[in-house]
Amino acid sequence: MEEGITILEAIKREFACKEVDIRTYSPLTLAYIGDAIYDLVIRTIVVERGNTSPNKLHKKTVKYVSAVVQAKLVDGLWEELTQEEQEICRRGRNAKSYTTAKNASVMEYRKATGLEALCGYLYLQGRQERLLCLIKKAIEGLGMEI
């Protein structure tokens, strides 16, 4: 991968992905990729904070990737979001999902899905700086530290 290119750009180039208008993606598709991106961001932060056992890394990570925490993050971020970003979150929250979280209420799970949809949307738009800025603000807003 050449320097200065994002992983998204490299993936699209390497695997000859067609350009798609991501506004046509379902909110659950955005949440699907957004879940992975959010998890990758949190795991990267945890790993960069120090080399330790996988068990300890996992314990630190799960504090930030649960539906309960993600619901709190999106609540705390709401006023920071643009109208477009709020709409993506709403679409994700209101999407008909056929799964639920084990340790969260239905509303928490739906809000978390909204956050994941937003993460997926920003990632697929190539707006990683905005994505990282929002995640950082949300975590700091809860008084959490990774």
Residues tagged active-site: 35
Contacts of 76 (CB under 8 A, 6+ apart): 138, 141, 142
Contacts of 78 (CB under 8 A, 6+ apart): 86, 89
Cα–Cα distance for residue pair 58/15, rounded to 1 Å = 31
Whether 126 contacts 69, CB under 8 Å: no
Cα–Cα distance for residue pair 46/93, rounded to 1 Å = 27
